[in-house]
Amino acid sequence: MKKKERHRLLQELIQDNVIEKQEDFVRILEERGIVVTQATISRDIKELHLVKVPSQTGGYRYSMPPDAQYDTSKKLERLVKDAFVSIDMQDYFLVLKTIPGNAYALGSLIDSSSFEGVFGTICGDDTVLIICKSAEAATRIKDHFLHLL
């Protein structure tokens, strides 16, 4: 697995899971069939500038630094304003159309942002398929994109 892909996956993991130790990253990745060492995870944490924040269990968990979360949301807002064409919803799925050449960047920002209820994205040249965890999440995310315009 390439470093960039691993970094993106680590960002997704901390959004979807409570990760308290580096070993938690290693274990979850191994469960997904990805072999990685604790030393590699340690370097990735430094490169991503991950921080530890209080968790609901009283311990600490890994999180993206607040400024990185802000940058992602601002980039997403700017790209939606610049490249958005349309959005349609069917059950758990959203199809977001963009100006050609912008879908992959938009999908990557969606994947790395903190959208609650996003299962994943599939991108083409001008289309982002957003797979949501529920129809309610799809409605909420669709409304969010329309609000950004």
The reported pLDDT for the residue numbered 141 is 96
- In degrees, to the nearest 5, what angle opens at C-alpha 49 toward C-alphas 46 and 50? 95
Same domain, yes or no, for 57 and 82?
no
Q: Which of 64, 87, 104 is the last residue of a domain?
A: 64
Tokens of 9: 């996956």
Which domain does 143 fall in, by range? 67-148
The reported pLDDT for the residue numbered 48 is 86
The reported pLDDT for the residue numbered 87 is 98
> Is the pTM above the cut of 0.75?
no
H/E stretch holding 88 reads: strand 84-90
Please list the rounded mean pLDDT of every run of 10 residues in the chain (149 residues).
87 90 95 93 90 88 74 83 96 97 91 85 96 96 94
The reported pLDDT for the residue numbered 71 is 66
The reported pLDDT for the residue numbered 112 is 79
